[in-house]
Structures are given as C-alpha cells and as structure tokens.
Structure 1
Amino acid sequence: MTRRFALTFDYLCPFARNANEHIVAALEAGADWDVTFTPYSLAQGHVPEGDADVWVRDEPFAESGILALAAGLVVRDQQPDRFLAAHRALFAARHDEGADIKDEAVLARVLTDVGLDGPAVLDEARNPAVLKQLQQEHDAGVEDHEVWGVPTFIAGERAVFVRLMDRPDGDAAHATRSIERVLDLVEGFPTLHEFKQTDLPM
C-alpha cells in the first residue's frame, strides 16, 4: 500500500539535504510513496520576536534561502517531472559546491543544468503569488504541526524532526530502508518522543 507523508525542506540545511536525497533516490528507484515536499523557511523561523516577517520586508528575496525555496515551489507545481532533479541539484549547489544560492546567476545555472529554463523559473518565482504560497505553506506547517525546523517528517497527525547522518550515495535500496525505518517510528511508535545519540558517529 502506498505510504503518504510530507517532508519539510530548506536548501540551506545539510540535514534537510540528507533526508531529501534519501527520498529522491528511493522515489527514482520506484519506492511506493506519495511524498509532499513542503517548504519551511529557516530565515523566517529564526526571525526574532517583534521583528518583521521575511515575507513583508522590502526585499524578501534577498533573505537567505527564500528565492531558492520559491524556485523549488515553481518547479514542484508547474514542472513536477523535473522536480526531483532540480530539488537534488539545488541542495548540491549549496552543500557540495558551496555556492551562494541567493545569487540568481547560480540558481539559473543550476536549474538550466537539469533541463529547465532557469531564468524563466526565477521570473515566476518572484511572482508575489508564489511568495504568498511559500508563506502559507510555511505557516501551515507551524500552525497545524508545530514545525520548527527541517527536516520534519509529517505522517497523519504526527510531525517528527529527524536527522539522518549519511547520504544515499547512489544506493537506492539503502535510501529506501532508511526512510522506511523513519516512517515506521513516526507512524508506529507514537509514545517515542525523543531518541538522540549523545555523540556523533565517526
């Protein structure tokens, strides 16, 4: 039976990169999952109390990660057949290349390299309606599930922040097993609230 769940993402976060890469690798190999990739803005999440939300600032797209998230939404919704490739590439630009994903030229190159019209995607990403959608999806995660970071897995009424320490590195079977284990805990072990290793694996 198809497993349905959501996963939050922000291209700024290396742990979001790990979890999303696992899911992309598994989906490309045929995993029977219905995944909703949901944006959560770390820039907005870190706004101090009393300061203006990033959405209403004079230059919201100058804030860390906002234009990349908006571009991801445009591809997800308007060219879904290219989304997984674009999603992986946007994470890679930030974390493998160390590129500045606030730079429109960087984003345009990354999107073009996966077969999209990069400049056209960015033009659409700057549409106020897309920024509004980004705000609404971010706020819905906060209000409905008390999301406070990435990556958060959401299945049914349960939302769980999870850090995976490895990357799939082309091993789709490993990626699938890893995500299935996470989902088994999220869906099947509701009394487990916190499980955190005290040191980092070497």
Structure 2
Amino acid sequence: MPPSRPRSKPGPKAGVRGKRRAATPPRLLGLTGTNGAGKGEAAAFFMKRGYTYLSLSDVLREELRKRGLEATRDNLIRTGNALRRRYGPDVLARRVLRRVRGDTVIDSIRNPAEVARLRTRPGFRLLAVDAPVEVRFERVRRRGRDESARTLEAFAAKEREETGRDPGSQQLHLCLRLADATVINDSTLEHFHKKLEALP
C-alpha cells in the first residue's frame, strides 16, 4: 500500500489579504540645551548614525535672509520671539516638521510649545545637553562667533534673556526640565560621545 501523502495546508482564501506590518515611524530626536554645551557635537554624533539634521535656528536664519538681516545671536532671538508672538509659540516646530523625512535630529528647541508640538509625532524624544557656565563660556569665546561672550558676566546676562516668563519668547529653562534625558558635557569629546552611546 503506497504511503499516504501529507495533507497540504489550505491556501489563503480568495479575497483575504495577509496582515501588513505597521510601518515603523521615523525616530525623532530633539536637542535642547544651553549655549556652548555641545548641541552641535551631539547632532553630528547622531548624523553619523544615519539621522538627518534639521534646526529651528535654520528656520530663523532663512527668515533673517528674507529680511536682509545678519544672523547674529541677538537677531535670531528677536526674530524667533517675534514669529512666536505673531504665529503662535510652536511656529518654528510646525515649520520644521514639514521637512522631516526619516530618522531626524531636530536642534535648537527653546520653547515648551515647540516640545509639545514635536511630541505629537510618535517616537519623539527630547535630549538636553548642558555644562557648567564657565566651561561653556570658554568654548564660545574660543569660537569667536558670539558677541555676548566678551566677558563671563555678559555671557551669563545673555543667558538670562532666554529664561523669560513670556510664552511667546525663549524659555530654555523649561525645555531643560521637559527633557527625557540630560547629558552633561563637561569633559573631553570622547567622554561626551560615550555618554551619548550609553543613552537608552
């Protein structure tokens, strides 16, 4: 008697489609932090790992070019505050979200409404980068690009302008509190990278 053939498994019924896997949303990493803390270095670290770079400050620089103004720190602050008051405190985040394609690191977040808008996207995380004010002052002074970095006192005074109560202005201190993780960059670049690698 010939061996019985194994029963074949029934095929899919006509008209019934297999379940599709839900597309994984792109990873969005926001960067906030004090001046000279190392946000740019953090952004470069993640760009080497495949992230696209976007910056809320670049939105402001485009606006300054349209107005024929130099992209100084004072002009960036004033223009950002003016846009927030006219179009809403999350205006810069709304504009930058239109450009997101794939995994993206979003730099220069300075208002809680920007954080709230970015959190509407699945998978968004906010990373704060900070360092002691004396360390940051020396870094910015060596760069020679910041008119507020002539003295430590002037540098600290300019920072206080970023911690106002007006919801239409920069409120950096509140953004730092909203961060999902904080990295203190007070040592070497290698040590900073190790801290970034250790993030969950």
TM-score, with length taken from structure 2:
0.28
Higher helix share: 1
Greater Rg by CA: 2
